[in-house]
């Protein structure tokens, strides 16, 4: 699997993270190609990883078994149509990490009948701790399925979803998720400083606590609710704090936040859909049950 030839169309932040992860994971630099319009960007990638770089998308994809589109969503149509005739001849596996572009839309831009995997990574991929959701269309073979997963695992966790509409929930959860945790950490730090702790001490303790809690949760087979209850002794300090948070409807607030992000994700996807494409994955959020209001479930 690690001998497959991989071409990146777009050599920006995400491509760089993926290439670093792939090489650390045993993929051969000589099998990796990147095309990007910026000479400086290409030189930096070439020097860091000893991979092939080019300014021509056609050259990068020429011998590829996998083509990874790593350009901004608004550029994807131009980039896809540029290489569509060449890809129609060889039909490599296509992986797109562009947020919001649906598989039927990308397939139409590429001329149709392609094996496509949509991947939604998040920013911690840049430090090798990403969380990526993957969706495969029916043309993707078992081998290609494994290959796509192996590629995205190079930068962290990779999980599959069966229904493309779930990618909007993924966007709301893990795509936007790092910002939610930063907000919580920001609030905790500020509260500790307001109570009298030095800023640097509050900062370090907050970060390590967040990291430690995530590490325990990842290493445990128990649910997050069980873990929370385990560290909440009756009559203790944690219980008092949790009571305040629950009275403030924390759960409903996060549910409403994810719903808002989900709604925005589907709105943006609708803007990017190719004309004439009937996209079954686009479901108006207005038709979804509102899960955040008690009594609606
Ligand atoms: N960053 C994240 O955390 C994250 C998370 C999830 C998904 N994604 C998705 O990942 C994709 C890439 O994001 P990124 O942050 O890596 O973007 P980026 O740093 O802007 O990288 C994209 C690169 O592609 C180049 N490019 C532009 N037009 C091109 C073309 N026609 N052919 C080949 N290359 C071209 C860009 O050059 P110019 O600078 O000249 O445009 C740029 O160097 C996006 O679609 C984004 O939605 C990113």
Q: How far is the CA of 25 from the centre of ligand 1 (A)?
A: 23
As beta bridge partners, residue 149 has: none
Q: Residue 65 CA to chain centroid, in angstroms?
A: 22
Q: Which atom of ligand 1 is nearest to the CA of 9?
A: 33
Question: Which tokens belong to 157?
Answer: 């966790």
Pocket test for ligand 1, best of 9, 14, 118 (most atoms within 8 A of CB): 14
Average pLDDT, the chain: 92
DSSP 210-263: HHHHHHHHHH-SS-HHHHHHHT--TTSHHHHHHHHHHHTTHHHHHHHHHHHHHH
Structure confidence by residue, pLDDT tens digits, 13-42: 999 999 999 999 999 999 999 999 999 999
From the CB of 35, is ligand 1 less than 6 Å away?
Answer: yes
Ligand 1 atom 18: the closest Cα is on which residue?
A: 12
Going from the Cα of 45 to the center of ligand 1, the distance in angstroms, rounded, reads: 14
In the structure encoding, which two tokens stand for residue 291, read together? 């899960």
Reported as half-sphere exposure (CB side, CA atoms, 13 A), residue 17 has a value of 18
User: Which DSSP symbol is given to 127?
Assistant: G
CA of residue 276 to ligand 1 center, whole Å: 26
How far apart CA 109 and CA 69 sit, in angstroms, is: 13
Can you name the residues that pair with 156 across neighbouring β-strands? 130
Determine the distance separating the centroid of ligand 1 and the alpha carbon of 36, expressed in angstroms.
9
Dump pLDDT digits (tens) for 104-143.
999 999 999 999 999 999 999 989 999 999 999 999 999 9
Our answer on whether the CB atom of 37 is closer than 6 Å to any ligand 1 atom is: yes
**In angstroms, rounded to a whole number, what is the distance separating the alpha carbons of residues 165 and 135?**
10
3-state DSSP helix/strand/coil % of the chain, to nearest 5: 55, 10, 30
- Domains located in the chain, CATH noted: 6-162 (3.40.50.720), 175-297 (1.10.3730.10)
pTM: 0.90
pLDDT confidence bin for 2, thresholds 50/70/90: confident
- The answer to whether residue 286 scores a pLDDT higher than 80 is no
* Euclidean distance between CA atoms 216 and 138, whole angstroms: 37
Is the C-beta atom of 12 inside 6 A of ligand 1?
Answer: yes
**Using a 6 Å cutoff on CB, does residue 19 contact ligand 1?**
no
The per-residue pLDDT for 112 is: 93
The mean pLDDT of 207-226, rounded to a whole number, is 97
Distance from chain centroid for Cα 181: 16
DSSP label at residue 31: G
CA atoms within 13 A on the CB side of 264: 12
Residue 292: its pLDDT value, please? Answer: 77
Q: CB of 116 within 8 A of CB of 137?
A: yes
């Amino acid at each position: 699997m690690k001998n497959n030839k991989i071409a990146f169309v777009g050599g920006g932040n995400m491509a760089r993270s993926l290439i670093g992860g792939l090489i650390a994971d045993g993929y051969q630099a000589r099998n990796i190609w990147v095309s990007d319009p910026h000479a400086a960007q290409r030189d930096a990638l070439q020097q860091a990883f000893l991979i092939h770089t080019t300014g021509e998308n056609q050259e990068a994809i020429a011998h590829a078994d996998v083509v990874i589109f790593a350009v901004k969503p608004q550029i994807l149509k131009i980039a896809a149509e540029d290489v569509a005739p060449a890809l129609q001849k060889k039909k490599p596996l296509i992986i797109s990490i562009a947020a919001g572009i649906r598989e039927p839309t990308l397939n139409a831009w590429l001329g149709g009948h392609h094996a496509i995997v949509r991947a939604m990574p998040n920013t911690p991929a840049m430090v090798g701790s990403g969380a990526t959701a993957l969706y495969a269309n029916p043309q993707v073979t078992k081998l290609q399925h494994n290959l796509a997963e192996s590629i995205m695992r190079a930068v962290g966790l990779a999980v599959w979803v069966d229904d493309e509409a779930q990618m909007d929930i993924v966007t709301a959860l893990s795509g936007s998720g790092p910002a939610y945790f930063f907000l919580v950490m920001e609030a905790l730090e500020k509260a500790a400083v307001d109570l009298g702790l030095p800023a640097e001490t509050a900062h370090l303790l907050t970060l390590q606590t967040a990291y430690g809690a995530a590490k325990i949760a990842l290493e445990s087979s128990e649910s997050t609710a069980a873990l929370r209850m385990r560290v909440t002794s009756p009559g203790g300090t944690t219980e008092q704090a949790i009571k305040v948070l629950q009275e403030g409807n924390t759960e409903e607030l996060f549910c409403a936040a994810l719903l808002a992000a989900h709604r925005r994700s589907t709105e943006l996807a609708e803007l990017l859909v190719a004309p004439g494409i009937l996209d079954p994955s686009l479901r108006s959020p207005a038709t979804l049950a509102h899960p955040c209001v008690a009594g609606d479930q």
